[in-house]
Chains A and B, each alone.
Chain A
């Protein structure tokens, strides 16, 4: 079955060697025909061999191509991940599509600054490795936490951490989100501080400052892209941090107006801020009593109020007091649109 050509060639040779045929008057034309047939058979065999070789090489190349495509996809996922680690998804997409991400004015955003008290002292007592490892531990926690609160990390400047809410996707809850994040940070710092007791290691304290106002956000420059925000709101938020106290969340009046229905705050009156004159400041004390359940966790009423603001993100905001009147009577009644964050959030 596999040697049909060989058998045919052997048969032709036998016929040509036949003495009876040699004496035939048709011998020459038969011989010519046999030669031609032999040539065709030889060509066919070779053609099959060449085709097989080509197919083999094509298959090998296909395998290499598949491998390269897989490698490329993996690289693309990695670079996309890296890009999204540097820029917000919306901005990265705009940058990829348009080649630039133009700065955008956000009429209302909230900016949060943190700074560690004790960092300078620790930098004298700890080795650089220990110092950076400690700082990394806190900033890693902040990084993970802010994504829960729909905030965008902007940068760290030394031991200062800066993030904002309401950018690059506009939200209505940014002031509440930033305040919740600030209290969450603060709670973490307290936990860390308690775990250090008796170890002889210096506990770090954190100052947190928040301000709400307009910002311009975007990417500038051509190298080492960084999403950043600009405007007086940023300066005032920074002043809120520097004019605050360790272990406290210091906010401006603009932020206070946006969060006062959720949090108990203490007015500090007007306080002098560098280059800004006197500014009204408030300390955020805690989440309002009626917005917490027995175990101190945020309850459904908080979530209901929060979701009412969130729902207006695409529509016009009603006066908040009116919405509060529509609260359900039973504060323990589960809300349909339960925010997963609130299931475990304890501030």
Chain B
């Protein structure tokens, strides 16, 4: 359900910007998704193939750039990537940290002609 609404929004954003520059066709859409934003690439691709044929993005390709989650330790400031159930700072062992990457969710750019 959720991925359908997301795909519609990605398509709307891409088409709006393509029209803004007077493009005839969208070849590629580059999307950035953080690992914490819980979006499934394959589902978005599936809906995109279904929704795009009658738009400027017909035949275009979706590209996903995944961003790994990163935390900044609140005790010692070290930046680290949490692993599965191990979220202790590797330097000072404090648990968790401020999320500094992984929540991204935006259309970065489009390739048009």
The yes or no verdict on A and B being binding partners is no
Listed in ascending order, the chain B residues whose CB lies under 8 Å from chain A are none
Listed in ascending order, the chain A residues whose CB lies under 8 Å from chain B are none
